[in-house]
Amino acid sequence: MMNSKIKQIFDEIKLSDERDVEIKALLTAKLYENENKNKNEMENLIMIKQKKYRVLLIATILSLGLVGFTFGTQAIKLLTGVNYERGKNFTSIEMGYENEPFEIREDKVFFVLNEENIDITNQISEDDYYKYEYTDENGYKQIVIIGGSIEDVGFNIYLFDNNGISLASSGQYNPIDDNMTAPIWIQKADSELNKFR
């Protein structure tokens, strides 16, 4: 039959193996690129969402604190679980936390670091903060401050060396506006703790 002959003839016409491999590789690359693009877009969305609705992670190096420093790298694990490190040519502190300093239970806020369990509900507000001090065996002082309303609790931890020099801080809080302005309680704490710098 003529149509079967046409079918037979066209069946023998095939894409060359060389182009087949090229095109397949291109398609695979495109699919891979799309998947990663989608993944990145999703990650960006999550990041934007976090910026808008979640907290701002902060970490500040306040002083190089090199007084009396000699060789090697010195590392201090803060109560919140983040690491402060300083070497000959660098100083760093991690952002955020591993151990959240507070817990909210039955509409009350508790300070829970360092095996404490202190009800601080009445000591914190949008304008004021709770302060916890801890000094390690080497004389390094850590001051944890917690502030904000119960719906919007934030914290910051400051590290001071044994000379009272403020070395770094790390924490998280919700900015009060789109300009990322820190809430009053943390501004107040910064101001009051500046005397250590």
Partner 1 sequence: MNDSHEIIKLYDTYKNKVYRLALSYLKNTQDAEDVVQVVFLKLIDNRANIIHGKEQALITQITINHCKDILRSFWRKNKTELNFDISSESEDFENDEQQIILNAVIGLSTKYRIAVYLHYYDGYTFSEIAKFLNISPSAVSMRIHRARKILKKELGGLYYDEL
- Using CB under 8 A, list all residues that contact partner 1: 1-3, 5-10, 12-16, 19-20, 22-24, 26-28, 30-32, 34-35
Measured between alpha carbons, how far is 95 from 115 in angstroms, rounded to an integer?
22
* Closer residue to partner 1 (CB): 21 or 180: 21
* Closer residue to partner 1 (CB): 13 or 137: 13
* Closer residue to partner 1 (CB): 40 or 117: 40
Kindly state the smallest distance separating residue 14's Cβ from partner 1, in Å: 5
Kindly state the smallest distance separating residue 123's Cβ from partner 1, in Å: 52
Kindly state the smallest distance separating residue 22's Cβ from partner 1, in Å: 8
185 — phi, psi (to 5°)?
-60, -35
Question: Which residues are 110's β-sheet partners?
Answer: 103, 119
* Closer residue to partner 1 (CB): 5 or 52: 5
Three-point CA angle 173, 58, 65, nearest 5° = 135
Kindly state the smallest distance separating residue 15's Cβ from partner 1, in Å: 4
Kindly state the smallest distance separating residue 27's Cβ from partner 1, in Å: 5
* Closer residue to partner 1 (CB): 1 or 71: 1
